Amino acid sequence: MNEQSVIFFDIDGTLLDHNKELPVSTKEAIHELKRRGHFVAIATGRGPFMFKKIGDELGIDTFVSYNGQYVVVKGEVVYKNPMELASLEKLIQASVKNDHPIVFMDPNKMKANVPEHPYITAGFSSLKVGTPTVDPLYYQENDIFQSLLFCEEGKEKQYEEEFPAFDFVRWHEVSVDVLPKGGSKAKGIEKVMEKLHIPNDRIYAFGDGLNDLEMLSTIENSVAMGNGVDEVKEVAKYITKPVDEDGILHGLKMVGLL
């Protein structure tokens, strides 16, 4: 058997195609990786409740979720980094003035601070995970690991200047992820590796979006999807085919794991 490696996969645009479906070749490739003794994990901006079905289907119980803020290894929570409450309250006040809705996210649920908004509808329809129910005070009683701020491109700049406690990472033309400053998938992966003790040259990562930049620029064996944004292609060691052209299978062969 090959020496064990660990492979981290982003979800949207990496494991899932643009229809939010798991290509057959991807599913077979991941099962083959596991059959060969490798360790497979997820690294995503989604929350755990948003990818449980994928995790169950692929038999994956190790993940970096919320862009590194909530990390689970073999079913055990090993790291939590919730948003700082006082700063979050100020962000909410500013966003309400600007008619920019917010969605609060914890490991089990997501709650919006307004009943309806076209931007929320647009963002979540692209994810195909349903829309959040409303509870404007949900953040007061629950640890929030990531929020979604809904605003047009460029409008996040004012928040970046006003709220240094947070990072703002765009994932949709009308929405940005809001997470604790300095948080990233790369940081979350560090927490996983503290438990797994696999050397750096046996760590691999696949991704396609702006929230994969830190992960693909720090992990030695990084693979950008052919459908990925230019920024991730510039920092990745390898570039594979697009997700809907058997990109995962091709990439795993490219790096010698299959």
Q: What is the C-alpha separation between 207 and 224, in angstroms, rounded? A: 5
pLDDT band at residue 45 under the 50/70/90 scheme: very high
pLDDT digits (tens, 9 = 90+) for 141-163: 999 999 999 999 999 999 999 99
pLDDT of 1 above 50: no
State the pLDDT at residue 2. Answer: 58
- Listed residue (189, 245, 247) closest to 41, CA to CA: 189
**Percent of the residues in the chain that have a pLDDT greater than 90, as a whole number:** 95
Segments in the chain forming alpha helices (H): 24-35, 52-58, 85-97, 118-127, 138-141, 156-162, 185-196, 213-218, 230-235, 247-254
**Average pLDDT for 23-40:** 97
Residue, of 3 and 1, whose pLDDT is higher: 3
Q: Which two tokens stand for residue 34?
A: 């596991």
Residues with catalytic roles: 10
Mean pLDDT of all residues belonging to the chain:
96
- 3-state secondary structure at position 168: strand
State the pLDDT at residue 127. Answer: 85
Q: What is the C-alpha separation between 51 and 256, in angstroms, rounded? A: 27
pLDDT digits (tens, 9 = 90+) for 225-257: 999 999 999 999 999 999 999 999 999 999 999
Q: What is the C-alpha separation between 141 and 139, in angstroms, rounded? A: 6
**Average pLDDT for 129-149:** 95
pLDDT of 220 above 90: yes
Instruction: Kindly report the pTM of this predicted structure.
Output: 0.92
**Judging by beta carbons within 10 Å of its beta carbon (0-12, 13-18, 19+), is residue 52 exposed, middle or buried?**
exposed
Q: What is the C-alpha separation between 236 and 219, in angstroms, rounded? A: 9
The sheet that has 6-9: what strands, in order across it? 76-80, 70-73, 63-65, 39-43, 6-9, 203-207, 221-224, 238-239
Q: What is the C-alpha separation between 149 and 177, in angstroms, rounded? A: 7
Q: Which two tokens stand for residue 11?
A: 């979800």
Q: What is the C-alpha separation between 257 and 221, in angstroms, rounded? A: 11
State the pLDDT at residue 129. Answer: 81
pLDDT digits (tens, 9 = 90+) for 73-129: 999 999 999 999 999 999 999 999 999 999 999 999 999 999 989 999 999 988 888
